């Protein structure tokens, strides 16, 4: 005998993420979920972002890593509130992990909460954490074919930071190819070309982020 | 490898449903998995086997129906399916058709031993 069920496998995570969202909204807080493969520059982008914005916005960071707290130590040095989640092997953050971590902050005192996800171009795309927007980083050393190889991540994210553009002379990846491939998957994606090393292009990313925070506050 | 987390969710939901219908043993669980989701069927099977060792669901079959990607063209509004990703409508050649199916991760039904 067959019994119809028709339930979404991710329903529990989606429900917790929606509850997180409601809590963030009641605190008037903008939340961004930052994703990329390992080594693309998530923490470096955060350091630059914090440096530019910390006088104007009150920022909190949730660091997700499988092990260790190197990233959280880097962020703490940058001078903002930070909490480390160690997933002990899990390849992504989920709504429940964020629920526990967010209680470490005085949410009403924050304007912007940045969630740095576990480095991975696949799994984090399936798990909402309660964010306003997802953003991702692709570094030019990873190659310009990545949007087509990992389409879900590029479809789910609202913004793409192309990092390490200072290395373009030394790699085969072309910015135009990345842009063309992204346009096929997500024509509304905001794209920023930056080098966290030299600081080039960071201001455009900062302007976009600030605008998102302002719009959410209205 | 987030399949372990997905399978844990599947088991939680199925156990709830078994309670609801007062069922002790299941023959099969039927899933629908979109080709555009990030789940790999072989890994779901492996994780299911691991997580149901010495378990109420030991021996229950996990049937996975892969859902092809269905697109709808913005321009001519025709629908079509594709085995992989496509970026043009095969009818009018407009770019970037919308994905309407192929992202699902769903439990469709459970089968009780008669």
Residue A53 backbone phi and psi in degrees, to 5: -110, -10
Residue B97: pLDDT band (50, 70, 90) is confident
Q: Which residues make Cβ contacts (< 8 Å) with residue A93, sequence separation at least 6?
A: A62, A64, A85, A87, A115, A117, A118, A124, A127, A129
Say which CATH number the domain at B12 has: 3.30.2320.50
Min CA distance, B79 vs chain A (Å)? 18
Instruction: From A70, A3, A63, select the one nearest A33 (Cα to Cα).
Output: A63
- Secondary structure class of A146 (helix, strand, coil): helix
Enumerate the H helices of B32-99 as residue ranges. Answer: 41-51
Residue A6 within any structural domain of the chain? no
Q: What is the DSSP letter of A166?
A: G
Q: Are strands B98-101 and A81-86 parallel, antiparallel or unpaired?
A: unpaired
Q: Residue A92: list chain B partners with CB under 8 A.
A: 2, 5
Residue A4 within any structural domain of the chain? no
Residue B33 within any structural domain of the chain? yes
Min CA distance, A198 vs chain B (Å)? 35
Q: Residue A125: list chain B partners with CB under 8 A.
A: 38
| Closest chain A residue to the Cα of B36, Cα to Cα | A152
**Residue A114: its pLDDT value, please?**
97
Cβ-defined contact of B6 to A9 (cutoff 8 Å)? yes
Min CA distance, A91 vs chain B (Å)? 6
Record the pTM: 0.88
Q: Is a pLDDT exceeding 80 seen at residue B114?
A: no
**Residue B67: its pLDDT value, please?**
93
Residue B27 within any structural domain of the chain? yes
Q: Which residues make Cβ contacts (< 8 Å) with residue B42, sequence separation at least 6?
A: none
Residue A195 within any structural domain of the chain? yes
Partner residue facing A3 (CB), from B10, B109, B114: B109
Please, what is the angle between helix A70-78 and helix A42-53, to 10°?
Answer: 20
pLDDT digits (tens, 9 = 90+) for B3-44: 999 999 999 999 999 999 999 999 999 999 999 888 999 999
Give, rounded to a whole angstrom, the gap between the first and last alpha carbons of chain A.
Answer: 53
pLDDT < 50 regions, chain A = none
Residue A1 within any structural domain of the chain? no
Residue A68 within any structural domain of the chain? yes
Q: Say how many CB pairs under 8 Å bridge A and B.
A: 84
Q: Which residues make Cβ contacts (< 8 Å) with residue B76, sequence separation at least 6?
A: B89, B91, B92, B94
pLDDT digits (tens, 9 = 90+) for B35-77: 988 899 999 999 999 999 999 999 999 999 999 999 999 999 9
- From the number of C-beta atoms within 10 Å of its C-beta (0-12, 13-18, 19+), residue A124 rates as buried
Say which CATH number the domain at A199 has: 3.40.50.300
The distance of Cα A125 from the centroid of its chain, to the nearest Å, equals 10
Residue A111 within any structural domain of the chain? yes
Cβ-defined contact of A7 to B85 (cutoff 8 Å)? no
Q: Which of A3, A9, A125 to mutate to test the interface with B (most CBs of B within 10 A)?
A: A9
Q: Cα separation of A210 and B74, whole Å? A: 32
Q: Cα separation of A9 and B9, whole Å? A: 6
What domain range includes position B36? 3-68+101-112
Q: Are A160 and A154 in contact (CB under 8 A)?
A: yes
Domain count, chain A: 1
Q: Cα separation of B60 and A38, whole Å? A: 37
The single residue listed with the structure tokens 């399949």 is: B3
Cβ-defined contact of B106 to A6 (cutoff 8 Å)? yes
CB A4: neighbour CB atoms within 10 A? 11
What domain range includes position A36? 11-217
Domain count, chain B: 1
Q: Is a pLDDT exceeding 80 seen at residue B84?
A: no
Say whether residue A7 is in contact with chain B using an 8 A CB cutoff.
yes
Partner residue facing A126 (CB), from B2, B21, B95: B2
**Residue A29: its pLDDT value, please?**
95
* A103 backbone φψ class: left, alpha, beta (φ>0; ψ -120 to 50): alpha
Give, rounded to a whole angstrom, the gap between the first and last alpha carbons of chain B.
Answer: 35
Count how many residues are written for chain B: 114
Residue B40 within any structural domain of the chain? yes
**Residue B42: its pLDDT value, please?**
95
Residue B107 within any structural domain of the chain? yes
Give kind and range of the element (H or E) at residue B61. Answer: strand B61-67
Partner residue facing B110 (CB), from A3, A94, A187: A3
């Amino acid at each position: 005998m067959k019994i119809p069920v028709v339930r979404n496998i991710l329903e529990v995570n989606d429900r917790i993420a929606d509850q997180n969202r409601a809590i963030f909204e009641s605190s008037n807080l903008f939340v961004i979920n930052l994703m990329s493969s390992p080594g693309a520059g998530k923490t470096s982008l955060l350091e630059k972002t914090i440096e530019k914005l910390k006088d104007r916005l009150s920022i909190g960071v949730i660091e997700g890593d499988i092990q260790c707290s190197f990233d959280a130590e880097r962020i703490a040095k940058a001078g903002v509130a930070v909490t480390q989640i160690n997933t002990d092997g899990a390849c992504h953050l989920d709504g429940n992990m964020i629920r526990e971590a967010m209680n470490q902050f005085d949410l009403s005192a924050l304007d912007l909460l940045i969630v740095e996800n576990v480095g991975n171009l696949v799994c984090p795309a399936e798990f909402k954490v309660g964010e306003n927007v997802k953003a991702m980083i692709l570094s030019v050393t990873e190659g310009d074919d990545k949007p087509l190889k990992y389409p879900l991540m590029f479809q789910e994210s609202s913004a793409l930071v192309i990092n390490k553009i200072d290395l373009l002379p030394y790699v085969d990846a072309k910015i135009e190819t990345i842009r063309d491939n992204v346009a096929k998957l997500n024509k509304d994606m905001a794209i920023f070309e930056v080098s966290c090393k030299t600081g080039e292009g960071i201001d455009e990313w900062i302007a976009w982020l600030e605008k998102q925070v302002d719009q959410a506050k209205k | 490898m987030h399949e372990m987390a997905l399978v844990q969710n599947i088991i939680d939901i199925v156990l709830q449903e078994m309670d609801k219908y007062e069922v002790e043993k299941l023959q099969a669980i039927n899933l629908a998995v979109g080709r555009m989701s990030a789940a790999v069927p072989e890994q779901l099977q492996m994780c299911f086997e691991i997580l149901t060792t010495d378990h109420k669901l030991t021996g229950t079959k996990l049937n996975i129906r892969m859902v092809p990607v269905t697109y709808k063209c913005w321009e001519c509004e025709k629908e079509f399916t594709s085995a992989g990703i496509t970026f043009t409508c095969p009818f009018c050649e407009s770019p970037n058709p919308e994905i309407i199916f192929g992202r699902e991760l769903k439990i469709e039904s459970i089968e009780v031993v008669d």
